[in-house]
Amino acid sequence: MKHFFVLLTSFFLVINALAAQEKGSIVGKITDKELNDEPLPFANVLIKGTTKGTTTDIDGLFEIGNVDPGTYTLVISFVGYKTLEIPNVVVEADKTTEINTGLGPDAQALDEVVITTTVSRESEVALILEQKKAIEIKQSIGAQELARKGVGDVEQGLTKVTGVSKQEGSRGLIVRGLDDRYNFLTVNGLPIVSVDPDKKIIPLDQFSTDIVRNVNIYKTFNPDVYGDFAGASIDIITKDIPKTPTTTVKIGFGANSQTSFKEFRRDDEAGSEFFGISGQRTNIPGIYDKGTVGQARDLTSEESSRVFNTDYNFDNNDAFLDNSYEITHGNTIRLGEDGERSFGYYTGLVFQNSYRTFLNGQDATYNTTGEVNRDLNFNSYKFSTQKTGLLSLAYQDINKFKLKVNTIFIQGTENTSEEKFGLFEEADDEFFFRGQRYTESTLLDLQLLGDFFFDDDKKNTLSFGTSFGSGEFKEPDRKVLRAEGIGNDARLFISNNSQPFRFFADVKIKDFSGFVNFKHGFGEADDLGKFKNTITFGAEADYLEYDYFNRTIRLDFNSNFNVLTESLNTDDPEDFFRRGFTANGLFYNDVTDASNRVEIEQLLYAGYVNYSVALEKWDITAGLRVEATDRTVFFRDFRLDGPQSPFREINLDPVNVFPSMNIKYQLNETSNLRFAASLTATRPRIREILPVLRNEGDGTGVQGNPNIDNSTNFNADFKYEIFPEDGGLISFTAFGKLIQDPIETILQPIAGSRFITFVNNDQAEILGLEVEYITPLNKLFGEHFSDLNFGFNGTLMYSNVSLADDIDTGFLTSNERKLQGASPFLVNADLSWTKDFSEKWNSIATLAYNVFGKRIDALGVNGLNDIEENSFHQLDLVWKNSFNKKFTLDIAVKNILNDVSEFTQEVASGSLQGQDLGILRSTRGINFSLSLGYKF
């Protein structure tokens, strides 16, 4: 590996090419003055003094891309017409200059040239400029940076941002040490629901970056952001509608070093699973659907043998290549003689699937002295699919209004098959575990957004947005089987009601949301259209309906079939079930308790005011948000109620007042000081208030607590940032958070077993320092490195959680510890090399690295210390090529180091005290991908 780094570094450093400079573009429409301004096709458009040029298409449209910043003369010609020269055409980095004019028998058309320049918010330079001008502290990552780093989904993209990391499982995205519970998600400023009860925000790996313009990460609070804020408020902005007709088609394939073309074990339950279509085989039988709640019954052996369409066996096939397909199309049509009105549209469809295996992993537990309770090897096989769709329609009159309609569709499936085998202290022989879980989530979100301008200078602006989201999360026919022994002569493992079982869950969500705000500017606007003083009044509302249903169906037995002596073949466990049903010794019964149905209704409404004043060097914004939450949980207690008992109700209706302050002081033209302070709250995930006892398959139950209160968060940030004149960014941010009544996970005993539940603890404290540095390397090492760019961001963090004295912490070992999921440090770095091999071949290669420090994954219990996730190093290489501005070829190698993902636990006592023992260990393999695209 050392030699690999030497060679790779040499590759980047010995190349001597043109400066890595951001480019601009010139687009427009040429019309025929002799034919009432009809489009003029096949006209020549050339940048004078260069070889750069193009011809107009059938609609008179043209585009000249990849133009160095500067001032040019544009030459437009057509046979039989006077050649037209347009001087002083300014091209700026990452901006599009638009030229609209006509040709005729004379050159009078010059007086009618319309030149406009727009910022591309997909570009890194534009987003840094926006960050510089903004009053609030925020970070953004755009489509250009996402593509350069080979990022395929929003979740991967956010892990490249300062202070952001990812943790597998329900913790999800972690921002400044705060997990999924403490973050909030909007799309185009409107909340979007998560249908997965384990997630507060949509699993962002299901949100393809191919329909994303940029992602804004607000780490400080503003009144127009929802008050459910502690880690960050994340706003995904969907693609802009292109100014000219644009169509792209892409196809990609990927391989994994430990998966592709190798044995892949899974059930054969879904229909066309390759395309993420589940079919009907996994549906819950009618005898156990929602309409039969309270009618639980034991099936006969004969009924049991035919009630399900699936079984416990796995199919053995070789994994295929990963696949990805994308098609997008968009255009803007100008209306009227002046072209100030326009209609535009954009549509994008993306489909992806992937195969992943985790082989020879370790899953172990120990007692306080380090003696083994369980030491299992495991193989896990995961097949997943993702579909993402976007349809945007826009209509605008430049000086009067803008309207936009978005339709967003997201659908993902995941089929995980797992086997474990090894030592388990309760088993008399080698222990065997087989589990299968298939999940499917579907979300459709409709949005309407608008801006109305009451004045030509846009002094008074009314903005509004409304959305309707509908989604479903299905977990059909989850199966668990345990045995003693491996191979033909194993036996069913029976201990603490651990019989094989099937679990079904279904979640349906409806969400209605909207906002309206009015902004007034005082005085006269400056040359950029900005008013020194502004005041904004706004209101928001969000109504959520949540319907949860689950059912557990367990295999039971009688004396006709002695499960303790009957052989079970772990390679064909279904044979065991067939023999048991035939002998009238096995049957299914419904063991679901009364809490299998829960409904939640939540209405959130808020009003806010925000006042901004700009002095000579100061920008100050003060705001206040009043937010009320009216939440009712309808449920039955699994200990006290029967299936037909009336629903119990728990209401939570707090009214919160959230003040905020943002101050920016401009030290000079290239540097700012910023300060932000705010008071916010945190609402729990759905799973944390869902009063349903759910079996996790390993003997642990999970039950939510509908009595949980919202947390209260005090936030403060201080930032110093420098924007060098020749590009880049240098920033230092110190932040602190005090969280009162944080929501924490605890373990409690129940009937000789244990389950996970959630409570409010005393308080949590977080202190941190963030550093970000983006620069062309020629600034550091001279012009020989002018084609290289370097980016770095890092975070150092301290955290502490104190548990409340009056809470029964069950098995928890420590009452004071680091915040769960918070790493003491995070590092992201990337090195990019840009090369124009010719006018027709442009290339960029990026080497990206990230690592997080050791962090707590699970809390220690029964005198055991906490389980910690060790540091994980990831290195990715992405090479993107563009040919003739139409063809693209992208090659990527990810997870090059193939580092070990490892969780450890320190021994608490005995001769091994202080040693770290492995709890969970696996590797992910190296990923290779190739993508071909065509733009027309």
Q: By C-alpha distance, which of 184, 182, 240, 245 is closest to 211?
A: 240
Tell me: pLDDT of 156 over 60. yes
| Beta strand spans in 336-430 (E) | 341-366, 372-397, 401-424
**Phi, psi for 231 (deg, rounded to 5):** -80, -65
Tell me which of 658 and 82 has the higher pLDDT.
658
Q: Which helix (H) or strand (E) holds 4?
A: helix 2-14
Residue 584's pLDDT is: 93
Query: Edge-to-edge strands of the sheet including 183-187?
Result: 138-142, 212-218, 232-238, 183-187, 190-191
Question: How far is Cα 794 from Cα 810, in angstroms, rounded to an integer?
Answer: 37
Q: What percent of the chain has pLDDT over 70?
A: 86
Tell me which of 686 and 146 has the higher pLDDT.
686
Residue 109's pLDDT is: 43
Tell me: pLDDT of 17 over 70. no
Residues 105-128 pLDDT 10s? 654 444 456 555 555 555 555 666
Least confidently predicted of 1-15, 77-91, 496-510, 590-604: 1-15
Tell me: pLDDT of 309 over 60. yes
Question: How far is Cα 135 from Cα 109, in angstroms, rounded to an integer?
Answer: 42
Residue 58's pLDDT is: 64
pTM: 0.82
Residues 642-674 pLDDT 10s? 777 888 888 877 889 999 999 999 898 888 999
Could you identify the residue written with the tokens 């603490």?
A: 496
What would the mean pLDDT of 221-230 be, rounded to a whole number? 89
Helices (H), 104-162: 124-133, 143-148, 154-158
- Non-local (6+) Cβ contacts of 7 within 8 A are none
Least confidently predicted of 47-56, 153-162, 516-525, 808-817: 808-817
Residues 327-361 pLDDT 10s? 999 998 888 766 678 899 999 999 999 999 988 88
Residue 609's pLDDT is: 96
What would the mean pLDDT of 29-34 be, rounded to a whole number? 78
Q: By C-alpha distance, which of 661, 537, 745 is closest to 220?
A: 661
Question: How far is Cα 228 from Cα 242, in angstroms, rounded to an integer?
Answer: 34
β-strands 460-484, 491-492: how paired? antiparallel
Residue 16's pLDDT is: 35
**Phi, psi for 144 (deg, rounded to 5):** -65, -45
**Phi, psi for 865 (deg, rounded to 5):** -80, 170
Residue 674's pLDDT is: 92
| Beta strand spans in 751-787 (E) | 753-760, 763-776
Residue 19's pLDDT is: 34
Tell me which of 541 and 882 has the higher pLDDT.
541
Residue 80's pLDDT is: 65
Q: Between vectors from CA 387 to CA 381 and to CA 391, what angle results, nearest 5°?
A: 170
Do residues 898 and 891 lie in contact, with contact meaning Cβ atoms separated by under 8 Å?
A: no
* CATH architecture for the domain at 124-241: Beta Complex (2.170)
The yes-or-no answer to whether 23-117 and 275-935 have a common fold is no
Tell me: pLDDT of 693 over 80. no
913-919: list long-range contacts, CB under 8 Å, 24+ apart: 913/369, 913/370, 915/370, 917/364, 917/366, 917/370, 918/362, 918/364, 919/362, 919/363, 919/364, 919/365, 919/867
Residues 474-483 pLDDT 10s? 988 888 889 9
| Beta strand spans in 781-897 (E) | 788-802, 816-817, 825-836, 841-852, 855-858, 867-869, 872-883, 887-894
Residues 426-446 pLDDT 10s? 888 899 999 888 889 999 999
pLDDT band at 726 (very low <50, low <70, confident <90, very high): low
pLDDT band at 408 (very low <50, low <70, confident <90, very high): very high
Residue 513's pLDDT is: 96
What would the mean pLDDT of 472-491 be, rounded to a whole number? 89
Question: How far is Cα 433 from Cα 697, in angstroms, rounded to an integer?
Answer: 10
What would the mean pLDDT of 388-396 be, rounded to a whole number? 93
Tell me: pLDDT of 170 over 70. no
Joined together, the tokens standing for residue 853 give: 């420090």
Q: What superfamily would CATH give domain 23-117?
A: Carboxypeptidase-like, regulatory domain (2.60.40.1120)
β-strands 164-167, 655-668: how paired? unpaired
- How many CA atoms, within 13 angstroms, populate the side-chain half-sphere of residue 594? 15
Q: Between vectors from CA 149 to CA 143 and to CA 155, what angle results, nearest 5°?
A: 70
Mean pLDDT, the chain, rounded, equals: 83
Tell me: pLDDT of 183 over 70. yes
Residue 748's pLDDT is: 54
Do residues 746 and 755 lie in contact, with contact meaning Cβ atoms separated by under 8 Å?
A: no
Least confidently predicted of 45-49, 804-808, 889-893: 804-808
Residue 279's pLDDT is: 65
Tell me: pLDDT of 851 over 80. yes
Question: How far is Cα 847 from Cα 845, in angstroms, rounded to an integer?
Answer: 7
Question: How far is Cα 66 from Cα 27, in angstroms, rounded to an integer?
Answer: 11
Q: Which helix (H) or strand (E) holds 307?
A: helix 301-307
Q: By C-alpha distance, which of 283, 200, 111 is closest to 546?
A: 200
Residue 199's pLDDT is: 81
- Non-local (6+) Cβ contacts of 323 within 8 A are 252, 253, 254, 351, 352, 353
pLDDT band at 148 (very low <50, low <70, confident <90, very high): low
Residue 568's pLDDT is: 93
Query: Edge-to-edge strands of the sheet including 743-750?
Result: 694-695, 700-702, 753-760, 743-750
Query: Hey, which residues does 463 pair with through a beta bridge?
Result: 451, 517
Do residues 435 and 474 lie in contact, with contact meaning Cβ atoms separated by under 8 Å?
A: no
Tell me: pLDDT of 381 over 60. yes
pLDDT band at 2 (very low <50, low <70, confident <90, very high): very low
Could you identify the residue written with the tokens 């499917």?
A: 440
281-287: list long-range contacts, CB under 8 Å, 24+ apart: 281/309, 281/310, 282/309, 282/310, 282/438, 282/476, 282/477, 283/476, 284/476, 284/477, 284/504, 284/506, 284/551
Q: What superfamily would CATH give domain 275-935?
A: TonB-dependent receptor, beta-barrel domain (2.40.170.20)
Tell me which of 197 and 74 has the higher pLDDT.
74
What would the mean pLDDT of 702-716 be, rounded to a whole number? 87
Question: How far is Cα 457 from Cα 133, in angstroms, rounded to an integer?
Answer: 20
Residue 107's pLDDT is: 43
Residues 819-841 pLDDT 10s? 877 889 999 888 888 888 887 88
Domain limits, the chain: 23-117, 124-241, 275-935
Residues 736-783 pLDDT 10s? 999 998 887 776 545 444 567 787 878 889 999 999 888 777 666 767
Q: By C-alpha distance, which of 495, 487, 500, 357 is closest to 421?
A: 487
